[in-house]
Amino acid sequence: MRPTVSWTPSGVGVARTTELTEVVRVVGEGGVVVLSGAGLSTESGIPDYRGADGTLRRHVPMTHQEFVGSEAGRRRYWARSHLGWAAFSRARPNAGHDAVAALQHGGLLSGMITQNVDGLHQAAGARGVVELHGNLGRVVCLDCGHATSRWVLEQRLRAANPTFRAEAIRLNPDGDVDLPEHVVRDFRVVSCSACGDGVLKPDVVFFGDNVPRGRVEECRRLVDDASAVLVLGSSLAVMSGLRFVRHAARAGKPVLIINQGETRGDVHALVRVDRPLGSALTELADRLGQRVAR
């Protein structure tokens, strides 16, 4: 399976604007759930999948089916991800993450859901973030379920591949880099240190996999308890995030979107602000009297 680059709009979406007045009004009333996507982290140097320079135009990301079904696929993933981790782990929160944390600390947000796997919301000081697609900083064994830190795995991979060298030219959203096949052919993948031979996988939801049911139910409860949903930097092209926008719309809750470019949820939105996330969210926090820490 290959993830789709775009979609065909099924209805008339809300007109785009650059004005934040309606967003300020709704968020200022409090009780808002944030749903963030890759567009929020691009200013931290992590590319997105479907933006103007989205990597799906040149890069086919790992799928769940290939990872669990192919030893060669796992070797290719871990070689590319091992090389990409150095750059991915150096990413730091940008002004958008800081502004979201300020809104939460100011009591205006009732919940936070992110489709991102980079942990940058938490690094900016946000609390109680539901990581819809998991986190690249964790690793789990598919056989025994043992979980460990990605940093621990990186030490083991370096020890198993002392002569592995390659030049990482371009980082992908899922934390890996593109490498030619001959470079990854001799890469050694390590097994679970707890059970001895279990398959290790990053604790993320690959394309083709399902978000755990308990996590979906937790997000749905957050939306049920919220007064509105604020979508930040997501095209909502995949159902994992779109379903919560649809759920909110069916319940008559306002949906606000700040994103550069059209989204699959525009048809459900009260307003879509088309602006860079860092400056837009900094302005939003400022107009609501929330000091953004830098």
- Report the alpha-carbon distance of residue 216 to residue 40 in Å, rounded: 21
CA distances from 198 to 64, 138, 144, 190, 203 (A): 16, 16, 7, 9, 14
Residue 188 marked as a ligand binder: no
Please answer whether residues 196 and 190 qualify as being in contact, where contact means their C-beta atoms are separated by less than 8 angstroms: no
Please answer whether residues 61 and 2 qualify as being in contact, where contact means their C-beta atoms are separated by less than 8 angstroms: no
Residue 144 marked as a ligand binder: yes
Residue with tokens 């000091």: 291
Q: Which of 82, 97, 133, 268 is catalytic?
A: 133
CA neighbor of 243 nearest in space, from 35, 52, 101, 42: 35
Residue 195 marked as a ligand binder: yes
Residue 185 marked as a ligand binder: no
Residue 41 marked as a ligand binder: yes
Residue 154 marked as a ligand binder: no
Quote the tokens at residue 65: 């089916």
Residue 198 marked as a ligand binder: no
CA 44 to chain centre: 13
Residue 54 marked as a ligand binder: yes
Counting Cα atoms < 13 Å in the Cβ hemisphere of 216 gives 11
Residue 49 marked as a ligand binder: yes
Residue 219 marked as a ligand binder: no
- Report the alpha-carbon distance of residue 111 to residue 4 in Å, rounded: 29
Residue 104 marked as a ligand binder: no
- Report the alpha-carbon distance of residue 5 to residue 52 in Å, rounded: 11
Quote the tokens at residue 227: 């007064």
The question of whether 133 is a catalytic residue gets the answer yes
DSSP state of 117: S
Residue 137 marked as a ligand binder: no
Counting Cα atoms < 13 Å in the Cβ hemisphere of 88 gives 27
- Report the alpha-carbon distance of residue 102 to residue 286 in Å, rounded: 10
Residue 51 marked as a ligand binder: yes
Residue 193 marked as a ligand binder: no
Residue 44 marked as a ligand binder: yes
Quote the tokens at residue 90: 């150096």
Residues in the annotated binding site for NAD(+) = 37-57, 115-118, 233-235, 259-261, 277
Residues in the annotated binding site for Zn(2+) = 141, 144, 192, 195
Residues in the annotated binding site = 37-57, 115-118, 141, 144, 192, 195, 233-235, 259-261, 277
Just list the catalytic residues. 133
